[in-house]
Amino acid sequence: MASTVIKNWDNRTWLSSQNYIEKFNKFLLKNIKLNSNSKILDIGCGRGKILGNLNSKLKLKKKPTGIDIVDHKDKDKRIFFKKINASKFFSINKEKFDLILIKQTIHLLNFKEIKRLLKLSKKNLSPKGRIFIFTLDINNNQIPTFKLMKLKLMISLRRDKKIINMIKKLYPQRIKKKFFFKVKIVKTKYLNMIKNKYMSILLGLSNREISKGLIEIDLKYKKNINFDDKLICMIL
């Protein structure tokens, strides 16, 4: 699972829209005090748009660091990017961070890797530093799905629940918050996201399964799709 390759998650989707990033970073800055001297790391940063926006907002003296196993050509220029597996990063890192962000990436690691990554992340925090983990809300999920996708999502969310419980046990002092974003997307664009296998649960599906799913979504939804993209946030 560790080397799942997701290429189209934030490829011109709501997840890389200005509105989403603004709302997300507003949420972050409401929950942690950061300034121009802050050192920030994003584990599994994708195209690094969230970090890039944080850099502009905070006028960071040092570019924030983003790491990912995929090096996108169109990644944000305002970040320092390193193509590296999360499990290897801390063996070469010498910095202490004020914020370590792990957004919608933790579920791509195995349990042993998660434990190790969180332990190392804790060690690499500044005294007031915090780790922010974001993962899909396991209870009230509204992601538009077709039948097979829903099944895969349910299996994935069941595993996420185990990850959340493990983190709860390891870090009982954690703070739990919720973040949501109202998505308004035209169906054709969402169909394209499915075609591009934007979520990890779609990566293992065959072309035939995806084609069938596209027909199902087309029948199930009207021209515009509205739903809440809901995340759980754990602050360690």
User: Under the rule (CB under 6 A), what is the footprint of ligand SAM?
Assistant: 2, 4, 6, 9-10, 15, 44-46, 67-70, 85-86, 103-105, 108-109
Question: How big is the CA angle at 134 (ends 63 and 47), to the nearest 5 degrees?
Answer: 40
Cβ at position 3, least distance to ligand SAM in Å: 7
Cβ at position 215, least distance to ligand SAM in Å: 25
Q: 3-class secondary structure for 147-164?
A: HHHHHHHHHHHHHHHHHH
Q: How far apart are CA 18 and CA 5, in angstroms?
A: 24
Cβ at position 108, least distance to ligand SAM in Å: 4
Nearer to ligand SAM, 2 or 151 (CB): 2
Q: Give the residue nearest to ligand SAM (CB).
A: 44
Cβ at position 226, least distance to ligand SAM in Å: 21
Q: How far apart are CA 203 and CA 180, in angstroms?
A: 24
Torsion angle, CA of 156/158/163/166, rounded to 10 degrees?
Answer: -170
Q: Which residues, other chains included, contact 144 with Cβ-Cβ below 8 Å and sequence gap of 6+?
A: 190, 217, 220, 221, 225, 227
Q: How far apart are CA 26 and CA 229, in angstroms?
A: 16
Cβ at position 223, least distance to ligand SAM in Å: 26
Nearer to ligand SAM, 112 or 222 (CB): 112
Nearer to ligand SAM, 4 or 192 (CB): 4
Q: How far apart are CA 188 and CA 132, in angstroms?
A: 33
Q: Which amino acid is at 10?
A: D
Nearer to ligand SAM, 37 or 85 (CB): 85
Nearer to ligand SAM, 192 or 212 (CB): 192
